[in-house]
């Protein structure tokens, strides 16, 4: 019998250590993980872009394109909650507290249905945008724990954050990112009337009234906020990391 050492996400390593899942299922998860395309290493800057200037998503996108730098996306923000970079977490929380934090993720709503297209790195000429179509329920400040009770809510957050994490994983990550309890993390999406009148919305994050607001509600051309750049480089074979 031969033994090999493999690098896996922390959640799989923890499950192995605690023997939470059958061996066959764990093997399947490892195979699935290594079957995915090699990710890009994306590192969020430690300081707000342009010395703390505020812009709408539509104005931040050309700013970063002119710099030749990627703009932070919702998945980048999400992954910060899975890292051990406490300095980055603390600095992002400071941005959330100061005002709206704008990501490059665009949520394009169908005016007549609950369907939407979620695009990460929208409008970027530096990295290739990626899109996914998903049903997006109406959330008028719905607590995270309630959203995660519904399969459509889980699918929406998975698409928004570019993850396959289960509800427990999503909850743990957003709690770690924000420092808030699940009932103090709220999800915001426009109702059908607002989707019809202004379908293009920007993903944003902020603290308000003691709660962490995860938004797909702000208009892409109206909601001004802080943002950050991201350094991007392709991972080399054999150096796959869960930490990005």
The candidate with the shortest Cα–Cα distance to 93, out of 194, 233, 206, 209, is 206
Within its chain, how far is the Cα of 181 from the centroid?
Answer: 18
pLDDT at 183: 96
Every domain of the chain and the residues it spans: 7-36, 41-234
- The model's pTM is 0.80
- Rounding to the nearest 10 degrees, give the CA dihedral for residues 75, 78, 81, 85: 40
Q: Are 87 and 46 in contact (CB under 8 A)?
A: yes
Q: Where do we find the tokens 């990550």?
A: 173
> Along the 244 residues of the chain, how does pLDDT read in single tens digits?
444 444 555 555 666 666 655 666 556 555 544 444 444 589 999 999 999 999 999 999 999 999 999 999 999 999 999 987 999 999 999 999 999 999 999 999 999 999 999 999 999 999 999 999 999 999 999 999 999 999 999 999 999 999 999 999 999 999 999 999 999 999 999 999 999 999 999 999 999 999 999 999 888 878 899 999 999 875 544 443 333 3
Structure tokens at 170: 């999503």
What pLDDT digit, counting tens, does each position of 147-191 carry? 999 999 999 999 999 999 999 999 999 999 999 999 999 999 999
pLDDT at 236: 47
The candidate with the shortest Cα–Cα distance to 134, out of 150, 104, 114, is 114
> What backbone torsions phi and psi does residue 151 show, to the nearest 5 degrees?
-60, -35
pLDDT at 239: 40
The partner residues of 131 in beta bridges, in order of sequence, read: 119
């Amino acid at each position: 019998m031969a033994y090999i050492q493999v690098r896996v996400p922390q959640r799989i390593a923890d499950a192995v250590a605690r023997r939470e899942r059958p061996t066959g299922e764990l093997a399947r998860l490892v195979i699935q993980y290594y079957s995915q395309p090699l990710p890009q290493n994306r590192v969020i800057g430690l300081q707000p872009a342009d010395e703390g200037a505020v812009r709408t998503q539509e104005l931040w996108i050309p700013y970063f394109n002119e710099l030749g730098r990627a703009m932070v996306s919702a998945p980048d923000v999400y992954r910060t909650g899975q890292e051990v970079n406490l300095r980055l977490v603390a600095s992002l929380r400071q941005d959330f507290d100061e005002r709206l934090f704008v990501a490059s993720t665009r949520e394009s709503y169908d005016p007549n249905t609950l369907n939407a297209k979620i695009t990460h790195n929208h409008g970027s000429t530096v990295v290739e945008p990626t899109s996914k179509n998903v049903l997006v329920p109406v959330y008028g400040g719905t607590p995270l724990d309630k959203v995660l009770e519904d399969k459509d809510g889980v699918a929406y957050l998975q698409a928004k954050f570019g993850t396959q994490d289960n509800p427990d994983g999503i909850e743990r990550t957003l709690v770690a990112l924000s420092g808030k309890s699940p009932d103090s993390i709220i999800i915001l999406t426009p109702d059908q009337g607002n989707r019809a009148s202004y379908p293009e919305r920007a993903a944003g994050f902020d603290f308000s009234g003691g709660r962490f607001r995860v938004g797909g509600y702000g208009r892409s051309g109206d909601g001004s906020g802080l943002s950050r750049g991201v350094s991007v480089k392709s991972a080399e074979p054999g150096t796959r990391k869960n930490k990005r």
